[in-house]
Amino acid sequence: MCLHETKSCGRCQSTFECKVGNIAQCQCNGLSFSDEERKYLSTHYSDCLCRSCLLEIKRELKFKPIEEKLHFLQSTAKTR
């Protein structure tokens, strides 16, 4: 079984080493995802992403409702 595979991140196109044959040493080891995050990842990407992008997506999804609310408030303030 292949322990390491060089992949290109589907989000930022950087290369990274996927260690699917030894998940304990893989770059994504230790990251946990909510059901919403997993659904987002599976609908937007078909393969592994680099650790940086995974962390950035987690951050974006965490703050998305806040950003949407701020955008809504700003847009309604402009119409007043």
Domain edges within the chain: 5-78
Amino acid 20: pLDDT = 78
Average pLDDT over residues 66-73: 65
pLDDT in tens, 11-54: 999 999 988 788 788 888 899 999 989 999 999 999 989 999 99
Tokens of 15: 């290369």
| Lookup result for tokens 């992008």 | 53
d(CA 10, CA 68): 25
Q: Which residue has the higher pLDDT, 72 or 41?
A: 41
Q: Which one is predicted more confidently, 65 or 38? A: 38
Task: Please say whether the beta carbons of 55 and 31 come within 8 A.
Answer: yes
